[in-house]
């Protein structure tokens, strides 16, 4: 028997992970503690009042197929060619971006700003300076950029195969969920916010409120509750 099968309990980073463990080890207690990290600098930064100009979408991460950047480029291409005035900003290492850009129209390329890799201390200003964060990954075990975006007060469009999205993104409240790898689904989400940008102010407030429970201190309290629960269970059995 392996160490997991003999453990007293299993803690999953997010409910999606917890459900997998529960299915594989049905006889054990399972708990969900979402990923917590230092997001104080993201909380602290002031977001400028949204201008009346083009809606700005932000992607921050590896520019690779697993992150769904090709899906985002295809969806954004449809948005621009439909006549919507929007900008897509890309932050991260170039990786597969040149090859992926071949799929988009020249008009769309003119609406894409590649900002390159940015040091971690500069990320809060990039999050704060845009209207919507998009993470369309085909798979992400968690996706800490979702924590960071919400802490900045930027609504999130996220695929349903990102662990963080399952716990943190509430459709119609602080963002939208889309089907992983599905250009139609993502294009519809981009169009929804482009056509109704007024909802973003409320979503922004809700995003920051969602993030209040994601600090390291809040995570530590959840671990304490898990240990207290296990201690109580042990006492009840003795």
Each of the 238 residues of the chain gets a pLDDT tens digit; together they read: 566 767 889 999 999 999 999 999 888 899 999 999 999 999 999 887 777 778 999 999 999 999 999 999 999 999 999 999 999 999 999 999 999 999 999 999 999 999 999 999 999 999 999 999 999 999 999 999 999 999 999 999 999 999 999 999 999 999 999 999 999 999 999 999 999 999 999 999 999 999 988 999 999 999 999 999 998 877 777 6
Q: What is the pLDDT of residue 2?
A: 64
- Which three-class secondary structure state does DSSP give residue 161? coil
One domain, residues 143 and 27: no
| Burial category of 106 from C-beta neighbours within 10 Å (exposed 0-12, middle 13-18, buried 19 and up) | exposed
Domain annotation covers residue 173: yes
- Counted domains in the chain: 2
Q: What is the pLDDT of residue 238?
A: 66
- In sequence order, what are the residues at sequence separation of 6 or more whose Cβ sits closer than 8 angstroms to the Cβ of residue 133? 57, 58, 59, 60, 127, 145, 146, 149, 154, 155, 156, 157
Q: What is the pLDDT of residue 49?
A: 74
Q: Measure the CA–CA gap between 173 and 156, rounded to whole angstroms.
A: 10
Q: How far is CA 90 from CA 7, 48, 109, 222, in A?
A: 43, 19, 12, 34
Domain annotation covers residue 130: yes
One domain, residues 88 and 20: no
Q: What is the pLDDT of residue 166?
A: 92
What domain range includes position 61?
Answer: 40-211
Q: What is the pLDDT of residue 146?
A: 97
One domain, residues 196 and 129: yes
- In sequence order, what are the residues at sequence separation of 6 or more whose Cβ sits closer than 8 angstroms to the Cβ of residue 43? 151, 152, 208, 211
Q: What is the pLDDT of residue 233?
A: 79
One domain, residues 26 and 87: no
In this structure, what are the phi and psi dihedrals at residue 129, rounded to the nearest 5 degrees? Answer: -90, 10
- Which three-class secondary structure state does DSSP give residue 94? coil
Q: What is the pLDDT of residue 98?
A: 96
Q: Measure the CA–CA gap between 96 and 102, rounded to whole angstroms.
A: 11
Closest CA to 79 of 111, 49, 114, 43: 111
């Amino acid at each position: 028997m392996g160490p997991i099968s003999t453990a007293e309990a299993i803690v999953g980073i997010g409910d999606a992970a917890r459900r997998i463990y529960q299915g594989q080890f049905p006889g054990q207690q399972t708990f969900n503690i979402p990923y917590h990290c230092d997001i104080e600098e993201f909380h602290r930064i002031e977001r400028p009042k949204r201008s009346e100009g083009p809606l700005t979408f932000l992607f921050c991460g590896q520019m690779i197929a697993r992150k769904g950047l090709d899906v985002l480029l295809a969806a954004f291409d449809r948005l621009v060619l439909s006549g919507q005035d929007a900008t897509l900003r890309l932050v991260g290492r170039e990786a597969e971006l040149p090859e992926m850009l071949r799929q988009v129209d020249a008009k769309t390329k003119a609406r894409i700003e590649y900002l390159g890799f940015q040091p971690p201390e500069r990320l809060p200003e990039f999050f704060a300076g845009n209207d919507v964060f998009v993470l369309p990954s085909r798979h992400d075990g968690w996706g800490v950029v979702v924590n960071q975006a919400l802490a900045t007060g930027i609504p999130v469009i996220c695929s349903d195969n990102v662990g963080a999205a399952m716990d943190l993104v509430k459709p119609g409240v602080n963002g939208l969920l889309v089907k992983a790898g599905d250009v139609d689904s993502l294009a519809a989400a981009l169009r929804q916010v482009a056509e109704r940008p007024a909802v973003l102010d409320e979503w922004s407030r809700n995003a920051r409120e969602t993030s209040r429970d994601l600090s390291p201190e809040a995570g530590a309290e959840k671990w304490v509750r898990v240990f207290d629960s296990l201690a109580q269970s042990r006492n009840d059995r003795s």
